[in-house]
Amino acid sequence: VSRFEGVSMAPADPILGVSEAFKRDNSDMKLNLGVGAYRTEELQPYVLEVVKKAEKKMLEAGENKEYLPIEGLAAFNKATAELLLGADNPVIKQQRVATVQGLSGTGSLRLGAAFIQRYFPGVKVLISSPTWGNHKNILNDAGVPWSEYRYFDPKTVGLDFEGMIADIKDAPNGSIILLHGCAHNPTGIDPTPEQWEKIADVCQEKDHMPFFDVAYQGFASGSLDDDASSVRRFVARGIELFVAQSYSKNLGLYAERIGAINVVVSSPEVATKVKSQLKRLARPMYSNPPVHGARIVANVVGDPTMFDEWRAEMQAMAGRIKTVRQRLYDELSTKDKSSKDWSFVLKQIGMFSFTGLNKAQSDNMTDKWHVYMTKDGRISLAGLNLAKCAFLADAIIDSFY
């Protein structure tokens, strides 16, 4: 007998489990549109040229492998806050930002959640319905209570803005509102600038604190500044907030686990204290973060030539996804003889398309067509190429009707 007899089998992860199932499939039709990872037109993983360049420079510099401080690489923390908020943002000059390097977006969210659990015990975090599946796991494991606000309207395949505002208004004063900075996952639907202003109005009215998850800066519009405008809007109003950042997608550093948690607060004294407590939370969890990805980001952002190269490569990635999106729409609207309006595919932004396929229809996509996707109907267009759009349109239409 094992002392582990009582351990039950954990369910497969709804996103990463899709990649595992994909690997087991021997069909040559198979297509993995599950995980949000960028692929080339040949459907191969892509390492950015600018990343290779930074790595070459790092190797030549003969960097050592000493431990980083608990808060991470100083040059990275400076670069990441400036990239998020804009280098000339007054909150940076006033030293009102506590930035700590995190284990990519997930680890940064987890650190933020641990901070909330410790310093705002019992305060509820409101998350969008739907949201990235891991948000719930992160909050649950950190012991942070959460509930949902309406976000997606299946009737319009758009934003349920009225519902969203009503639910945020309904939440107890001083709640924490988790917002996707840009390229909402899984829906690909973002509030407009006017809607962001209204959300900020309600946050101020209700003394709510936003917690932005910025996992796609630069990937939504192709512009780093435009994609951070939601966060900057709230910061400009003097609202205190959390921001988790990730370099998985925009620099393709998925496995390097590089990101940051930023807390923008009302004074430099508070920022210093908050940072000290974030470090205190990090120390017993993982001691200090990995250095490689942090050096890559610091090198790329800190060198004007490499920075420009990064922007060009990011625009090319975002551009390829847009081209595929257009082609998929064209195929769907020509192949589908019903009067269904597929224009939502074009309206959505970022890596994903939220197709509206339900669980049974998504199962059909996988079981019959070997198209791997999450069961909420989300497909990652970053894993699609032009050559496969017609095939995918056939699969979607077959599964819908």
Give the residue from 140, 141, 199, 191 showing the smallest Cα distance to 167. Answer: 199
**Residue 11 Cβ, how far from ligand PLP at the closest point, in Å?**
19
Q: Is 246 in the site for ligand PLP (CB under 6 A)?
A: yes
Structure tokens at 75: 């040059």
Footprint on residues 271-330 left by ligand PLP (CB under 6 A): none
Binding segment (CB under 6 A) for ligand PLP, from list 99-107, 156-164, 301-309, 316-324:
99-107
Nearer residue to ligand PLP within complex by CB, 77 or 104 = 104
Choose, from 160, 167, 190, 213, the residue flagged as catalytic. Answer: 213
**Residue 368 Cβ, how far from ligand PLP at the closest point, in Å?**
27
Which position among 248, 250, 362, 374 is part of the footprint of ligand PLP (CB under 6 A)? 248
**Torsion, CA 220, CA 225, CA 229, CA 230, rounded to 10:** 40
Q: Is 39 in the site for ligand PLP (CB under 6 A)?
A: no
Choose, from 160, 167, 190, 249, the residue flagged as catalytic. Answer: 249
Footprint on residues 330-389 left by ligand PLP (CB under 6 A): none
Footprint on residues 126-165 left by ligand PLP (CB under 6 A): 132
The dihedral through the CA atoms of 91, 92, 98, 104 has a sign that is: positive
Nearer residue to ligand PLP within complex by CB, 104 or 353 = 104
Distance CA 376, CA 186 (A): 8
User: Is 213 one of the catalytic residues?
Assistant: yes
Footprint on residues 102-121 left by ligand PLP (CB under 6 A): 104-106
**Binding-site ranges for ligand PLP (CB under 6 A):** 36, 104-106, 132, 180, 185, 213, 215, 246, 248, 254, 259
